[in-house]
Structure 1
Amino acid sequence: MPTQLSRRGLIRGVTAAAAAATLAPVLAACGGDSEAATTDPAGSVTIGLLSNGAAKETTLKVSEVKSISAQLPAALKKTGKLVIASGTLPAGSAPLGYVGSDQKTLTGCEVDLARLVAAVLGLEPEFQQATWENMFIAIDSGKSDVGFANITVTEERKKKYEFASYRKDDLAFEVRKDSTWNFDDDYENLAGRTVSVGSGTNQEKILLEWKAKLAKEGKNLTVKYYQDNNSLYLALSSGKIDVYLGPSPALSYHAAKTAGTPQATRVAGRFSGAGTTLQGLIAATAKKGSGLAKPLADAINYLIDNGQYAKWLTAWNLSGEAVAKSEVDPPGLPLDNS
């Protein structure tokens, strides 16, 4: 999130009080009512709750699978909690992760999958909200066990983290609805355009490489950054930027929500988050050597095999991003980003 949540497309706002609280880049705990509202000790998890129309509320049966939870590190089993880093500050990113309609509960497709996985592992989910950058610091320091935040698998990140994949990583280009521009699978048609992207994200890395290639051809690509999506979409609406490059789920959601309004937008093309030669993958992310990737992947595969995974995607209108299997440390965005 996002990306922006890969900070990743920050879309939804929160109340003035909540927004003031989230502007600080430090971690913020999101416990109590947040988990209680969506996890039933009897063995069910309600997804899409308080999603403000972004998802169809669905209750799924899921309980601890002891053959999987037995693989967890002893220290984690002792705490009984899975501390989940969510890079959703300052404003959240629907449908990935954002504050729900009660203006306090963290919701979103990434959040709901984390709750489902925690249930399979027999652990209580505890969320730690952070900015995109501080989410990784929390994982590095051990303050958070795992990140569920639209994190792309990259070969660079594999130097520090281990992964359990769970969704395709597709990027999208969003423009004003009256724009005639389309991506058309060719970076050269970005020449002369002003594009916004999230700082520190994989889409930024791809965009900056395209900018460098265009510069060698004597062509210009202007990149602009915004701290929140209110500012970003105001810039898009007013023509200060031509294109926004971000995570496909977030941009598709925004385009659907603005349809029929003066601020209407549309998706003008998609691109794999891993570049031209590899399908990008989104993954649960833990510190390298933590021993968490295997039980996380097994938990996700349990959800795939037993149908909860498909129902989760359907509830959030993300069925097109399904993977057949969760993999531990699958091939990621290459070091040269080609």
Structure 2
Amino acid sequence: MPSHLSRRSLKRGITAATAVATLATGLAACGGDSDAATTTDAAGTVTVGQVSNGAATETGLKVSEVKSISAELPASVRKSGKLEIAIGALPDGFPPLAYVGSDQKTLTGAEPDFGRLVASVLGLKPEVKNFTWENMFVGIDSGKADVGFSNITDTEERKKKYDFASYRKDNLGFEVLKKSTWNFDGRYENLAGRTVAVDNGTNQEKILLEWQAKLKKEDKTLTVKNFASKNATYLALTGGRIDAYFGANPGLAYHEKQSATSPSPTRSAGTFSGAGASLQGLIAATTKKDSGFAKPIADAVNYLIRNGQYAKWLAAYNLSNEAVDKAEVNPPGLPLDNS
């Protein structure tokens, strides 16, 4: 189950027109190599956001091998010269993280692009493979892939089989009309008197209903709405029937970018950890346990953070509010009783 129930809601956060027109065509066969966007040119530039269909601002990032980090890799990988990257985006994809681009064949998005950046630091050629969510883990288990970059939440349950190198916050978010003055500010009390839409059966619905119960005990109200489709949710937002939509943050960031030139642009009104108030959820590169990949990948991520490419990658996909200060190997994950 991806990203602590957030991947389902993330997929539901895709605008219907883009989902139908862009994602359903041309996905690579399960477990097969996907067409990859241009990785590193002769000048050592990795271009992120290519053929992104408006989900990203195309950005060239100068990246080259850091030999002190690539030396940490297992000898067999250094000899092969390639990093096999697993993405769990079949059958439909989930923008802006991983989906088929506007050329109808290239697997693009924030996750494969970040895998390509990490591979460049490691001095390896990225080979991006697209799987179903379940088969992505099978691919890592069997050695068909070295690492998964696919919105995978760090959990203590998964640590039984995998090592993690964290690189992004696992956040939920509030989306409001750009003209709205309301902000969440990390305080459920700010929801008092508001009407908020949420997708039925999701992690964020569970959290929102818990806040509703707390406010009720304080003699305050929070009205929670469910709609049958994403289009209906956004019609309610633009029509003023709801104050905000609470969903998986990457999907909201995608819609915010898509709506920027519309008559009713939206913005983020704040985020909340997908793991709840007591723990910041983390998205992590996922490798087979004791494979020797986690530390060099974490070191590569930290190199990208220190040298600015990381921030530019996030900004290209409107995901700056999911930045981490540093990558860690096997940081505290979602507890066993909540995995």
TM-score in terms of structure 2 length: 0.76
Q: Aligned to 2:336, what secondary structure does the other structure show? A: coil
Partner of 1:233: 230
Partner of 1:168: 169
Residue 185 to residue 131, structure 1, CA distance change in 2 (3 Å): farther
Partner of 2:141: 140
Residue 312 to residue 195, structure 1, CA distance change in 2 (3 Å): closer
Q: Aligned to 2:338, what secondary structure does the other structure show? A: coil
Residue 315 to residue 255, structure 1, CA distance change in 2 (3 Å): closer
- Write out per-residue CA displacement over residues 142-165 of structure 1, whole angstroms, 9 at most, x where no aligned residue: 222111112221112111211111
- Write out per-residue CA displacement over residues 159-188 of structure 1, whole angstroms, 9 at most, x where no aligned residue: 1211111112211256899xxx99885599
- Write out per-residue CA displacement over residues 94-113 of structure 1, whole angstroms, 9 at most, x where no aligned residue: 22122222222222222221
**1:282 paired to 2:283:** yes
Partner of 2:249: 248
Give 1:73 deviation, angstroms. Answer: 1.5
Distance 1:70 1:60 in 2: 23
Q: Aligned to 1:87, what secondary structure does the other structure show? A: strand
Letter in 2 for 1:295: P
Q: Which segment is superposed worse, 256-265 or 121-130?
A: 256-265
Residue 260 to residue 59, structure 1, CA distance change in 2 (3 Å): closer
Letter in 2 for 1:167: R
Give 1:58 deviation, angstroms. Answer: 1.9
CA contact (8 A) 1:164 1:326 kept: yes
Distance 1:299 1:49 in 2: 22
Q: Count how many residue pairs are aligned between Structure 1 and Structure 2.
A: 324
Give 1:118 deviation, angstroms. Answer: 0.2
Q: Aligned to 1:135, what secondary structure does the other structure show? A: helix
Give 1:6 deviation, angstroms. Answer: 4.0
Counterparts of 1:28-177 in structure 2, within 5 Å, are 28-31=32-35, 34-35=36-37, 37-172=38-173
Partner of 1:19: 24
CA contact (8 A) 2:3 2:170 kept: no
Letter in 2 for 1:157: R
Residue 267 to residue 45, structure 1, CA distance change in 2 (3 Å): closer
Q: Which segment is superposed worse, 262-271 or 300-309?
A: 262-271
Q: Which segment is superposed worse, 325-334 or 37-46?
A: 37-46
Distance 1:91 1:273 in 2: 23
Distance 2:28 2:117 in 1: 29
**1:330 paired to 2:336:** no
Partner of 2:219: none
Distance 2:123 2:248 in 1: 31
CA-based RMSD of the aligned residues comes to 4.2
Partner of 1:228: none
TM-score in terms of structure 1 length: 0.76
Q: Aligned to 1:313, what secondary structure does the other structure show? A: helix
Q: Which segment is superposed worse, 6-15 or 145-154?
A: 6-15
Give 1:93 deviation, angstroms. Answer: 2.1
Structure 1: gaps of 5 or more residues = 226-230
Residue 234 to residue 132, structure 1, CA distance change in 2 (3 Å): farther
CA contact (8 A) 1:96 1:109 kept: yes
CA contact (8 A) 1:6 1:152 kept: no
- Write out per-residue CA displacement over residues 116-141 of structure 1, whole angstroms, 9 at most, x where no aligned residue: 10001111111111222322222222
